[in-house]
Amino acid sequence: MTTMSEKVFRLSIISSCFRGDAYLSSFIDQLMSQTLFPRLEWVLIHNEPSPREMEIVKAFQERFPEKIKHFVIHPVEPLSASWNRGWKCASAEYVGFWNLDDCRPQDSLQRQVETLERNLDCVMTYGDYLEVPHYGSSSGIWRKTPPAYTVLLRRVFPGGAFMVWRKNAAERLGYFDEQLNIACDYDLVTRAAVSGMKICKTSGLVGYFTNEGLGLSTIKGTSKETVERTVVQLRYAIFDKVIPGNTWDAKNYRISEILIGGHWFSLAMFVRNYLSYVGRRMFLQHLRGLRKFFMSILGIKR
């Protein structure tokens, strides 16, 4: 028997919510305004929701009971674990990740799905976005993301706020590493590129990334983001970008393994010839100083 989701849903939007009172109603309005809304489902991983948040979600459920999967989580779990939970239970062929404090043009999800439909060999698509200083703002800094060259994406992260993946990519790639709570998207995109998987860029603006310095990845002065970025750089042999002083805390992580649902997996399961890939790039350790010199000339901080 064919279920309604199998007939209708093209995209599953996955959101992890914790203390989302300020954004939840607006997010739902934006979700409903998407041109793809008739063909998408919303997978909400709700960490310790407030009574007000539950009321807002209940109102949506009453209107669209077939379009939402709502999981209430106690206690709060890492973002990576919530995203994995949502990915595994998604019904659609494509999965997109949308943070409650970010915004999207009304046709962005449709354009990204169409990109994957036109490029059957692509596992993920991203695009340019506007970095805005306040939620709901439509003016800010245009972040032109890099072109989708596999070799380039092994070293340069295009940003994870507006990704749309093929759901079945996880069968070959694995899921987000639950050791990581901030750089888990950086890790997964880099893993895909190192594995040789094709990634595509959607033309035009795909989102408005809110940077008020309050979000998990934007809080100023956090050392955890620095440590997790170092873990990814060490893991995929981006040695020339590693700052030696950041490696000590990175030793607390399993560099060559990923954690999914409480189980450890060797990266060699998902990245063919992983150890030889790392070994061939050991020479990059000797280029740190040269890279730092050129970056200082160009006035680049990182």
Three-state SS sequence of 223-244? HHHHHHHHHHHHHCCCHHHCCH
Q: How many CB atoms lie within 10 A of CB 137?
A: 14
Q: How far apart are CA 15 and CA 57, in angstroms?
A: 13
Q: Are 281 and 288 in contact (CB under 8 A)?
A: no
Q: How many CB atoms lie within 10 A of CB 270?
A: 18
How close are the terminal C-alpha atoms of the chain, in Å? 54
Q: Which residue bears the tokens 């990740």? A: 97
Q: Are 12 and 92 in contact (CB under 8 A)?
A: yes
Q: Are 38 and 47 in contact (CB under 8 A)?
A: no
Pairing of strands 122-132, 164-166: antiparallel
Q: Which residue bears the tokens 């607390």? A: 252
Partner residues linked to 128 by β-bridges: 205
Q: What is the pLDDT of residue 236?
A: 97
Which domains, from first to last, does the chain contain?
7-210 (3.90.550.10), 223-298 (no CATH)
Amino acid at residue number 259: L
Q: How far apart are CA 244 and CA 168, in angstroms?
A: 37
Q: What is the pLDDT of residue 214?
A: 57
- DSSP classification of residue 158: -
Q: What is the pLDDT of residue 168?
A: 98
Q: How far apart are CA 87 and CA 84, in angstroms?
A: 5
Write out the chain's pLDDT in tens, 302 residues: 344 444 589 999 999 999 999 999 999 999 999 999 999 999 999 999 999 999 999 999 999 999 999 999 999 999 999 999 999 999 999 999 999 999 999 999 999 999 999 999 999 999 999 999 999 898 999 999 999 999 999 999 999 899 999 999 999 999 999 999 999 999 999 999 999 999 999 999 999 999 976 555 444 444 899 999 999 999 999 999 998 888 899 999 999 999 999 999 999 999 999 999 999 999 888 776 555 544 444 344 44
Q: What is the pLDDT of residue 289?
A: 54
What three-state secondary structure class fits 253?
coil
* Centroid of chain to Cα 213: 18
207 HSE (CA, 13 A, CB side): 28
Q: What is the pLDDT of residue 160?
A: 87
Q: Are 122 and 200 in contact (CB under 8 A)?
A: yes
Q: What is the pLDDT of residue 76?
A: 96
Q: What is the pLDDT of residue 285?
A: 84
Q: Which residue bears the tokens 């888990």? A: 184
